[in-house]
Each structure stands twice: as structure tokens, then as C-alpha cells.
Structure 1
């Protein structure tokens, strides 16, 4: 499962949760690295291209949840 596939399980348009908002915004990001499971690649992409992500801590928290789900 790619990180994007995991993140899409967190989507909820009615939620104000930061991870749900991140997932909702990533859904509309056509250039998001959808097939990647590489932390550095996704992190670099978000730092350079994702104006919708207000804090990389949100990504780090969702990455930790993703890793937990994989194990």
C-alpha cells in the first residue's frame, strides 16, 4: 500500500481533523506522488509543492500512522 492509498482512508470532508484535511487536499493534488512509499520523496514533494499543508508535523504524524498500519 502506498502512502497515498493509506492517506485516502483518512479522508473526511466533514472533519476538521488536520490529517483528514491533509487527505482531502492531497486528493485534489494531481501531482502528488501517488505510488510512493518513500518518506524522503514524499516529504520533499510536500515541502516544495504542497501549499495546502500548513505544517510538516501533520505529514510526520500521518506517516507514523501509516507505518503503524503496515506493521
Structure 2
């Protein structure tokens, strides 16, 4: 995630939803994508010199909910 994306999410949490999409491999019979929405995915602003932050996808996926 970029620093700007994180700051935007923190400044307008009610307007920001992180969408995660799991795309199946070409070998999988079921070609359906799985989607999760994560509300308020970030807790704090990155340090001044940070340009991007890496997050654990599994943890974010578990926080997410299936869109309705």
C-alpha cells in the first residue's frame, strides 16, 4: 500500500474500503474470484520517510467480509 492510500483511508475512514480479490489459477476448475471488503484496514499513519508499506494478505483477508 502506498503512503497516500493509507493516509486517505485514515482521513476518510467512512469513505474508504479496501477491496481484496483472490483470482484463481488457470488450472483451477472453478474460475470464480473471491472478494473481501476490509473497512478501516489501517491503524496508524506511516512514518514521514516511508513511501509504501507491505501488509500480510492472510491477515487482511481474515479481517474482510464478503460483499453483499
Between Structure 1 and Structure 2, the one with more strand by share is 2
TM-score (norm 2): 0.29
Q: Which has the higher helix share?
A: 1
